[in-house]
């Protein structure tokens, strides 16, 4: 295979959590395109293997696949240590971990409820927290995590998902404050609707962006920008209005 240079001359390493999702894939291409080493973590080994090969061939950077199940909390410390050992440059993290089951199914399925909370919140923050020592030690780097506009105000259609994202947003605010002294930037991307497998079967929503457009906007926020950012930015005014809607009006809306 042509490609990966043998000397670890890479100044940056991007660890992508939940790397099989379309948004994460697009972001990984941005990172690899900038010349960074890429580590892909997730559960679908076949898919991550294909993606690692693709990234290293297209961008001529080292890329490898790592198995990670965020719900396996006990595994996180060792996972973080392994990633730190593998990264040849400054470690950065992009996380696109999340499941969005139908709200109605969650009403009856306790196992699914627990699984969703563990995936979207408990597991995700646990694995992110496991990187605190490594990030603090290197005194720099970016941790970019996909939140959602659904976390801004719980709505009928998917408020369990929204609740996990709201919890994540708050956790990231605190984590950002904690790591800021070490020069580590923690960014919460409040993502709008992205055209991915997660939203494919839903009715077409306005302001839907391609994964590539999302990744382009997210990449611009690496190294600068606010702690919490709407991506794309059109969602900032939209969510302002939605948050300000009087409760009686909001409750009558069907979305």
Q: Under the rule (CB under 8 A), what is the footprint of other proteins?
A: 1-6, 8, 20-22, 25, 42-54, 56-58, 62-69, 72, 75-83, 85-86, 88, 196-197, 200-201
Cβ distance to other proteins smaller for residue 51 or 148: 51
CB of 224 to other proteins, least distance (A): 26
CB of 7 to other proteins, least distance (A): 9
Cβ distance to other proteins smaller for residue 51 or 142: 51
CB of 41 to other proteins, least distance (A): 9
CB of 160 to other proteins, least distance (A): 18
Distance set, CA 156 to CA 48, 159, 251, 254 (Å) = 34, 6, 8, 7
Cβ distance to other proteins smaller for residue 133 or 237: 133
Cβ distance to other proteins smaller for residue 63 or 144: 63
CB of 72 to other proteins, least distance (A): 5
Cα angle for residues 110, 113, 118 (degrees, 5° grid): 125
Q: Taking a C-beta distance cutoff of 8 angstroms, is the pair 191, 151 a contact? A: no
Cβ distance to other proteins smaller for residue 197 or 241: 197
| C-alpha to C-alpha distance for 180 and 197, rounded to whole angstroms | 34
3-state secondary structure 35-46: CCEEEEEECCHH
């Amino acid at each position: 295979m042509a490609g990966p240079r043998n000397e670890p001359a890479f100044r940056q390493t991007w660890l992508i959590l939940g790397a099989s999702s379309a948004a994460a894939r697009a972001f990984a291409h941005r990172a690899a395109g900038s010349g960074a080493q890429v580590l892909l973590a997730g559960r679908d080994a076949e898919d991550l293997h294909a993606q690692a090969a693709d990234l290293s061939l297209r961008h001529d950077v080292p890329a490898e696949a790592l198995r990670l199940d965020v719900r396996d909390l006990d595994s996180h410390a060792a996972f973080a240590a392994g990633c730190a050992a593998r990264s040849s440059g400054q470690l950065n993290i992009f996380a696109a971990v999340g499941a969005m089951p139908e709200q109605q199914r969650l009403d009856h399925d306790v196992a699914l409820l627990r699984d969703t909370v563990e995936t979207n919140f408990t597991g995700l923050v646990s694995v992110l927290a496991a990187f605190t020592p490594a990030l603090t030690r290197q005194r720099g780097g970016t941790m970019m995590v996909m939140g959602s506009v659904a976390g801004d105000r719980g709505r009928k259609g998917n408020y369990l998902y929204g609740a996990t994202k709201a919890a994540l947003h708050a956790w990231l605010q605190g984590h950002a404050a904690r790591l800021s002294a070490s020069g580590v930037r923690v960014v919460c991307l409040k993502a709008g609707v992205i055209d991915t497998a997660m939203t494919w079967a839903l009715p077409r929503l306005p302001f839907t962006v391609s994964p590539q457009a999302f990744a382009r906007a997210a990449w611009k926020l690496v190294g600068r920008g606010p702690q919490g950012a709407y991506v794309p930015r059109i969602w900032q005014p939209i969510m302002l209005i939605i948050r300000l809607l009087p409760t009686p009006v909001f409750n009558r809306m069907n979305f």
